[in-house]
Structure 1
Amino acid sequence: MRLLLLAATLLTPLPAAAQDKVERVVMLMRHGVRAPITGEAPLDTKVDGQWPAWPVAPEFLTPHGAKAIAQLARHDRRWLGTTGCPAPGSVRIHTNTPERTIATGRAYADALAPACRLTVDHEAAGTVDPLFEPLRAGATAFDANKAVAAITAYTGGVNALTARHAATIRELDRVLGCGLPAGCSTPGPATLKPSADGRGVEFTGPIRATSGTAQVILLQYAEGMPMAQVGFGRADAATIKRLGVLHAALFDVFTRSPYMAAHQAGPLGDHMLKVLTAPTGPRLDVLVGHDTNVTALAAALGVDLDAPGFALNDAAPGGALVLTRRRDARGPYVTLSYRVQPLDAIRNGTATVVDRAIAIPGCATRCPLDRFDKLLRAKLAPVVTG
């Protein structure tokens, strides 16, 4: 795959300890706040009220979302000590092909290096980028039957998954306000099976139906809509965090079992390890994708995504897993963090950013580069070549 090197400033080392320096940073970021995807809240969902209008087309990054991404970029610029217009070869930005990821990359690049008009690299429209959509691209030796078995083992089965979240589904029904004893979303029984083309899994039922609705309500809040329009006026910040468990539960099926994590994160993880271990290359490598990408990498790393205002493992808009290669007297090592804006900061347009250090399982917070490479690579499905 062709990735264009972008011009960028050389990044001033950030001290992590005495005589410690940053050599390279690679981050995987979810796109910013977007308008809902058509059908994300199932079209037959019954509500008491009207869904609010959005300022952009379905799936597109909103202007408010772009401003939040700019806040993150300004934070990263300060953290990395970036100044002025860039010198060639030290920053690379690559996004998936949907508008929301390209626009997020654009907003990030413009705030990281103002007035420099950096290029944001992505594949051609209509193509499948195997970094971000490895199952569709056939980028690994994925076996849909093995995937179903692995998901079933991880979740205890889709009926058990539904049962664990029954109380939250009832709370969502209260917010939707339809008042029907059967609930406001009636998708039928939970099912899980290989997709017809064998390149994925088909998942139906209450979690599949309600997870998107919960995400839409969160996006309304993040967008800064009046509270009378957020969840039909029946959802405050605490409610939205609780409902986010339904969206996070979707990733128990699609990304968090060891088998799904290995294949969903395989190409991205391979790319990130190559960037970290290469003798030369960009000092900052930014990948802009989706919640499935971030949750899959987190699962492969064996860590949770924890951010203020969000349910555990519900990937935040603009949130990024950050791998930093540092060097001290003992040699190169890797640290991991989750860089994210709290949900209220996204909503209110404030500059608050949280960068939480995460201990790397099997290696604590400071992981020698060669050991980190072996630990993560062992959790990834090999990329199919040729």
Structure 2
Amino acid sequence: MIRSLRPLLLALALVATAAAAASPSVEGEALEQVILLSRHNLRAPVVASGALAHATQERWPRWDVGPGELTTKGGVLEVYMGRYIGQWLRQAQLLPASGCPQPADFHAHANSLQRTQATAQFFVAGAFPGCHVAVEQRMPLGTIDPLFDPVVHRDDAAFRTRAVSAMQQALSASDLAPALSVVEGITLYPQSAACTGRSNCHLALADTTFSAEPGKEPRASGSLALASGLVDALLMEHYQGSGIPREGWGRLTTEAQWQALAQIRNRYQDILFGTPEVARDVAGPLLARVDALLEDPASPKVSLLVGHDSNIGSLLAALGITDYTLPGQYEKTPIGGLLQFERWRDRQSGGERFRLAYVYPTTAQLRDALPLNDVQPPGRVELALPGCGQYGCSDVQFERLLHRALN
């Protein structure tokens, strides 16, 4: 069984609270507002039953939380991130240097699932220790908040046809056969229960089909979806650390194998949520929320929105941001990572500048539960915004970018 890391929670109190974050500010600018769109932290995969359980003859490790729930280690990791971001916000003088935040300073809103609500609560515990800061939950626990539900909203046949065609074209342009062979070699898929009674049973892209039905998530069925689920489970085990020195039942041993697994996972997400028209439709509610928070003078200085990789991936694609890499990470939308929408103001001219950064824990930081501080900071990648300059967007450029993504 994967062991609980509750003793590590106790050790948090012994870690130095200073977590200096290097400010990316341009000289003469002041940070005025930040919107954080976060993916939940480390969760247990769904492997106990269904397709993943039958896709290998091996036994998956057991977890000490339910399928899909945030792990204790995930809570620890989120405390680290919250503490780091909280310190950065204070250093940037966006939040008071001491004391608890007021409603005008900070607001948190998370999807109504255990892993997202718990992630937000652990972030708050790290950012504002000893403070009572509520996390907004709009729906009963275990149900999906419409703001974070990555579903198709348009209900017309022509859109569905275009969406499925775009996904199929994206699949056709992907050379994933070698990576699928790596998954087969690790899981021994041809010898699994899923292949019982089938000759020449392999993971192959030819059996993959797509759907984009209104009110449902964009979906794939077939080998690509199965392989992505298998990779997700292996990644979660890697981050959690099962105490087994040889991963993938002793058959996952090289960096080349991990890169192949990452290719499947990242491409699967890109195909489903990264085609432009689908991305704009799926990400519409979150894009509208970001727009509203930036437009409303009464918005909190810092807003935290905690959702999922599909939320981040579709929003980035809707904005036209697809070509980026995150050094030290296998995933393009890693667990515990967050997008930072930043509004800066020139102290002399009063002009506004908008920037977008991806702040994320590296694979090693997740695996080894490393505290985040000025010596060991999280990764930070400045994302180039289409139609804007080196230092971000003017207010007119950013408004045009958001509205184009929303229409």
Is 1:131 aligned to 2:140, yes or no? no
CA distance, structure 2, for counterparts of residue 169 and residue 40 of structure 1: 20
Aligned counterpart, 2:3: none
**C-alpha displacement of 1:232:** 1.5
Answer whether contact 2:330 2:363 (CA < 8 A) is retained. Answer: no
CA distance, structure 2, for counterparts of residue 366 and residue 40 of structure 1: 46
CA distance, structure 2, for counterparts of residue 332 and residue 119 of structure 1: 30
Aligned counterpart, 1:270: 288
The alpha-carbon distance between structure 1 residues 287 and 237, as it changes in their structure 2 partners (threshold 3 A), is farther
**C-alpha displacement of 1:235:** 1.8
**3-state DSSP class of the match of 2:353?**
strand
Cα offsets for 1:149-168 (capped at 9, x unmatched): 2342355164x26x620100
| Residue from 331, 343, 357 that aligns with 2:382 | 357
Is 1:43 aligned to 2:53, yes or no? yes
| Residue from 310, 322, 327 that aligns with 2:329 | 310
**3-state DSSP class of the match of 1:156?**
helix
Answer whether contact 1:144 1:200 (CA < 8 A) is retained. Answer: no
The alpha-carbon distance between structure 1 residues 87 and 284, as it changes in their structure 2 partners (threshold 3 A), is same
Cα offsets for 1:136-178 (capped at 9, x unmatched): 7xxx4354651442342355164x26x6201000001111135
Answer whether contact 1:90 1:282 (CA < 8 A) is retained. Answer: yes
Instruction: Please identify, of 26-35 and 174-183, the stretch whose mean Cα deviation from structure 2 is larger.
Output: 174-183
Instruction: Please identify, of 124-133 and 174-183, the stretch whose mean Cα deviation from structure 2 is larger.
Output: 174-183
Aligned counterpart, 1:334: 354
**C-alpha displacement of 1:242:** 2.5
Is 1:90 aligned to 2:105, yes or no? yes
Answer whether contact 2:209 2:220 (CA < 8 A) is retained. Answer: yes
CA distance, structure 2, for counterparts of residue 317 and residue 134 of structure 1: 17
Cα offsets for 1:308-365 (capped at 9, x unmatched): 343463x100111110001002511101100001011111011241121111111033
CA distance, structure 1, for counterparts of residue 155 and residue 127 of structure 2: 37
Is 1:74 aligned to 2:74, yes or no? no
The alpha-carbon distance between structure 1 residues 110 and 143, as it changes in their structure 2 partners (threshold 3 A), is farther
Aligned counterpart, 2:396: 370
Is 1:152 aligned to 2:165, yes or no? yes
CA distance, structure 2, for counterparts of residue 185 and residue 53 of structure 1: 25
The alpha-carbon distance between structure 1 residues 135 and 28, as it changes in their structure 2 partners (threshold 3 A), is same
Cα offsets for 1:173-214 (capped at 9, x unmatched): 11113565845658981122344x664544211111100110
| Residue from 269, 273, 280 that aligns with 1:251 | 269
CA distance, structure 2, for counterparts of residue 215 and residue 67 of structure 1: 20
Answer whether contact 1:144 1:194 (CA < 8 A) is retained. Answer: no
CA distance, structure 1, for counterparts of residue 272 and residue 167 of structure 2: 11
CA distance, structure 1, for counterparts of residue 156 and residue 53 of structure 2: 31
Answer whether contact 1:145 1:194 (CA < 8 A) is retained. Answer: no
Aligned counterpart, 1:206: 223
CA distance, structure 2, for counterparts of residue 173 and residue 34 of structure 1: 24
CA distance, structure 1, for counterparts of residue 26 and residue 99 of structure 2: 26
**C-alpha displacement of 1:373:** 1.6
Aligned counterpart, 2:7: none
CA distance, structure 2, for counterparts of residue 357 and residue 15 of structure 1: 9
CA distance, structure 1, for counterparts of residue 358 and residue 170 of structure 2: 30
Cα offsets for 1:106-153 (capped at 9, x unmatched): 1001111001131111112155422111537xxx43546514423423
Unaligned runs of 5+ in 1: 1-13, 382-386
Instruction: Please identify, of 25-34 and 171-180, the stretch whose mean Cα deviation from structure 2 is larger.
Output: 171-180
**3-state DSSP class of the match of 1:37?**
coil
Q: Normalised by the size of structure 1, how large is the TM-score?
A: 0.85
**3-state DSSP class of the match of 1:287?**
strand
Give the paired residue count: 362
Cα offsets for 1:215-267 (capped at 9, x unmatched): 11011011122344632122247222330211112223321001111011111
| Residue from 83, 102, 109 that aligns with 2:117 | 102
Cα offsets for 1:273-305 (capped at 9, x unmatched): 111222222010110001100101111122245
Give the % identical residues: 28
Answer whether contact 1:135 1:200 (CA < 8 A) is retained. Answer: yes
Answer whether contact 1:214 1:240 (CA < 8 A) is retained. Answer: no
**C-alpha displacement of 1:74:** 1.2
- The residue type paired with residue 36 of structure 1 is P
Answer whether contact 2:167 2:272 (CA < 8 A) is retained. Answer: no
Answer whether contact 2:179 2:261 (CA < 8 A) is retained. Answer: yes
Unaligned runs of 5+ in 2: 1-22, 192-198
- The residue type paired with residue 152 of structure 1 is S
| Residue from 172, 176, 183 that aligns with 1:172 | 183
CA distance, structure 1, for counterparts of residue 263 and residue 51 of structure 2: 16
CA distance, structure 2, for counterparts of residue 165 and residue 40 of structure 1: 24
Aligned counterpart, 2:248: 231
Answer whether contact 2:38 2:338 (CA < 8 A) is retained. Answer: yes
- The residue type paired with residue 30 of structure 2 is K
CA distance, structure 1, for counterparts of residue 387 and residue 277 of structure 2: 19
CA distance, structure 1, for counterparts of residue 392 and residue 219 of structure 2: 39
Aligned counterpart, 1:141: 154
